[in-house]
Amino acid sequence: MKISLLGYMGSGKSTIGKELASKLNLKFIDLDKFISSKHQKSIPEIFATDGEIKFRKYEREALIEILEAEENFILSLGGGTPAYYDNMDLINQATHSIYLRLTPKELIERLRPEKSSRPLIAHLSDEEFPEFIAKHLFERRNFYENAKSILAVQEKSVKKIIEEIILNLPHPHRI
Ligand SMILES: Nc1ncnc2c1ncn2[C@@H]1O[C@H](COP(=O)(O)OP(=O)(O)O)[C@@H](O)[C@H]1O
Ligand SMILES: O=C(O)C1=C[C@@H](OP(=O)(O)O)[C@@H](O)[C@H](O)C1
Ligand SMILES: [Mg+2]
């Protein structure tokens, strides 16, 4: 079984992916962590030293490497992965893709204390931040909505989200 989780920064991809993998006894791969360990740099360091364009290239290469090498996994993508190259086509060809959909309001609340770890939003002032998230999500949604399955995650616990994902897995993966 190959499952990928996608959605905006802060939607819970990394958190849900890790828990879901442990529940389904599958290998967990976080695309950002994979890129970091491959390049021996944190994501903010890659953005600062190599720039976003190179990051997108590394992200694309890592995605292909994982999709070609691995048989069974839960893959948590980065928020931007579906929006570059034809990544979304590759993701849908190889995996059951799930969009974790969250409202701008909740994303803003969640991301506010965690902004500094995310280079695309780290520099934004308190005034700029909410408007940036709303606009950026509006652009990204077009890519996310190509996922095979869409799950609204607002006001749901991690446990509940995992239960719903498992219930909605395509047959014969349901357990
Ligand atoms: N269902 C949830 N309810 C409340 N907080 C959550 C939930 N899922 C994730 N979080 C929190 O939201 C933040 C962002 O989660 P993370 O997994 O890093 O998102 P992503 O990988 O999509 O950017 C983290 O602090 C995480 O603990
Ligand atoms: O949305 C984006 O373009 C990004 C999201 C991040 O991942 P998370 O969605 O896990 O924060 C990370 O890949 C990088 O900072 C760029
Ligand atoms: Mg993440």
Q: How much helix, strand and coil, in percent to the nearest 5, is found in the chain?
A: 55, 15, 30
Say what the pLDDT of residue 73 is: 97
Average pLDDT, the chain: 96
Q: Output the CA 118–ligand 3 centroid distance in Å.
A: 9
Among all bound ligands, the one having the nearest atom to the CA of 108 is: 1
Residue nearest to atom 11 of ligand 1 (CA): 12
Distance of CA 87 to the CA centre of its chain: 12
pLDDT digits (tens, 9 = 90+) for 87-129: 999 999 999 999 999 999 999 999 999 999 999 999 999 999 9
In a domain, 19, yes or no: yes
Residue predicted with more confidence, 170 or 50: 50
Pair 116, 57: CB distance under 8 Å: no
In a domain, 133, yes or no: yes
Q: What is the CATH number of the domain that holds 87?
A: 3.40.50.300
Q: Is 32 labelled a binding residue?
A: yes
- Distance of alpha carbon 164 from alpha carbon 121, whole angstroms: 30
Domains of the chain: total = 1
Residues of the domain holding 46: 2-167
Q: Is 12 labelled a binding residue?
A: yes
Say what the pLDDT of residue 174 is: 59
pTM as predicted = 0.97
pLDDT digits (tens, 9 = 90+) for 11-39: 999 999 999 999 999 999 999 999 999 99
Say what the pLDDT of residue 171 is: 76
List pocket residues of ligand 2, CB cut-off 6 Å.
9, 13-14, 32, 43, 78-80, 118-120
Q: Output the CA 150–ligand 3 centroid distance in Å.
A: 18
In a domain, 175, yes or no: no
